[in-house]
Structure formats: C-alpha cells, structure tokens
Amino acid sequence: MLWEERWHPLREEWVIVAAHRQNRPWSGEVVQTPAKALPAYVPDCYLCPGNMRVGGRRNPNYQQTFVFDNDHPCVGPDAPADLEKPSGIYRHQPAQGIARVVCYSPKHNLTLAELTPAEIEVLLHTWQDQYRDLGARPGIDHVLIFENKGEVVGVSNPHPHCQIYATNFVFKYIETEARAGQRHLAETGRVLFQDILAAEQADQARIICQNDTAIAFIPYFARYAYEVYIAPKATHPSLAALADPEVRDLAQILKRVLVKLDNLWQMSFPYVMVLHQAPTDGKTYDGFHFHIEFHPPLRKPNLLKYLAGPEIGGGNFLSDTAPEEKAAELRAQAEVHYKSVQG
C-alpha cells in the first residue's frame, strides 16, 4: 500500500499519492480508442506535403521535418501593440512572440513512436536550431516546444507535429523550476536535477531505461500515472547545448520509451510532451538541467485522469498510482513497436 505525500522539488509543491484507491469502483466516462488505420497522405490535410493551408500558403514537398509559422498564432508579431491602459492594479503587455508548427515527417500516419531513431535525431536537431534561432531574437524570453498527442488532449489533426511558442515572458513552470534550481545551487553548490538523478539511480525502481548519456524514469514525485522524464545525464541548460553523440543517445531513449508507451495498451498513447529548457531572457541559468516531460492523461486504458478539486481548485495533484509500479510496467514492455510486429 502506498499512501503518502511526496515533495515535488522542481515545482515546489506536494503531491498526494493515494495508490490504494486505484481500484475503487468507477462509473465515469471511458475514452473510446479509434483503431482505424490512417493513410500516409491525406489530400485535405493542411500539414501534408504539397497541400494548401488556410491563408493560401502551400506546403513544400518536404522530405524530413518541416517548420512553418502557425497560421492561427496565439502570440505573433501582428498582435496589437497600442493597448489601452487597464484600471488599477491590472497589468498587460502585447501578445507578441512567434508561434510555429513542426511536422515530424511527410507521412501523415507516422507518429513520433514510429519514426526511426535516426529520424528522431533529425527532429532533435531541428528543435536545437529552433531554440537557437528564436531564443536569440530580441524580446523572446523563452521558447516552449511541446506536442499534444491524441484526441483526448484535443488534437484535431493526427498528422504528427509539435508546436513552438516563443514568447515575451517565461512560462510559469519553467520560471518555478529555474528558481528552485538556482536556490538549490546557491544553498548546496549542486544542480537540483543532478540530485534527482542520483536519487533515482540509488532507488533504481523508477528507471525505465538508460544508455551512456541519457536516461528515462518516472520521478518519485510524478503527478500523472505514466509521467516519464527523459534527460541527458550531463547538465545542459537546453537541448541546443547537447553534443551530437548526446543527441543520438537521447533520440535512442526517446524511441525506446515511446515504443513502450504504445505497446502498453497496444494503442497510440496520448500525451502532452514538453521540453523544459532554460529561458532565453539573457540571464544565467547555471542550475537548469534540460529535460523532456511526458504528461499522459490516461491512467488506465480508456480511463482519463480527471483534474478536479485538488488539481484545479487547489493547485496540487492527487495521484492514484504508485510511480514504482508504473515504471515497472513500462520496463517490462517490449522495445519493438506492436504495429511492426503485426505488420
């Protein structure tokens, strides 16, 4: 029985772990998993090569990754700069920045899990270029790279892609992690994330896989059932700072984890994936250790983790699962994608 509260050192908050409740009776909504096979090319997909997008731009016949400015940006250079002053204590600023889309591959039906490690490596280099390019621009304080995958997280177009928000502010979780890391460094002389890696290596129970320079694990303080962290073992403020062999190792670990996630329930595993990289606001972030976080919304096949009173109302997570158990489940999964076995 696991029933305790665990401290999340990066977010500086408590997580209530009540794993003894996992099998309590449930009569709520279950998610239907569409199993229909997709074609490699869809004539009316706005992400497929050669197709027309809204606004009249045509995609090139791209062969690997393809990056373009989002046609419906949430932050953009055209956001109004002449704003009316709000009353009293209220503050505002122009919603300026750059929003981009990155297609992983010309194939409409190839998810990140189904790309080869070499293709994932190409994508990682694309992300490096984007972080360097956008982060160096004046007024861009942070570059958030993320993928929403699956209908349960609201993705309407299944063509595998991620998004980039380069903003004039630092996203909240990054700001919190950066502050926690800086304080830890000042107090102990050590990098906070290195202390997390040391604790995970000491326990072993939550490690999913690793190679020479990269590691995947479900952290002790995980909020979601299958919340996997993937990181280089050496401290780098961003993906852009990784040497080529480290990028190759990271691509290999990503591939292994993504295949395991898909194999778990023999379905394309939905998630929110986010790269946590240091801000690009010109300050130094010595204690910041780049990592990738997966926040999968399902805790069982077809069963959503609902955010409710504790999470939405109070701001702390209630987890129904033991990270040790979930990590063991993923460790046990094969590393050959189930579709390639069937196919």
Residues at the contact surface with Zn ion, assessed by CB under 5 A? 42, 45, 47-48, 108, 159, 276
Q: Identify which of residues 44 and 84 has a Cβ nearer to Zn ion in the complex.
A: 44
CB 306 within 8 A of CB 29: no
Q: Identify which of residues 75 and 101 has a Cβ nearer to Zn ion in the complex.
A: 101
Angle at 88 between CA 86 and CA 90, to 5 degrees: 55
* Residue 108 beta carbon to Zn ion: minimum distance, rounded to whole angstroms: 3
Active site residues: 161
Q: Identify which of residues 214 and 263 has a Cβ nearer to Zn ion in the complex.
A: 214
Encoded tokens for 35: 């199993």
Q: Rounded to whole angstroms, how far apart are CA atoms 294 and 218?
A: 9
Q: Rounded to whole angstroms, how far apart are CA atoms 72 and 78?
A: 11
Helix, strand, or coil here: 19?
Answer: helix
* Residue 157 beta carbon to Zn ion: minimum distance, rounded to whole angstroms: 7
Nearest to 8 by CA among 201, 278, 237, 229: 229
Q: Identify which of residues 47 and 242 has a Cβ nearer to Zn ion in the complex.
A: 47
DSSP 39: P
CB 209 within 8 A of CB 254: no
Q: How far is CA 116 from the centre of its chain?
A: 19
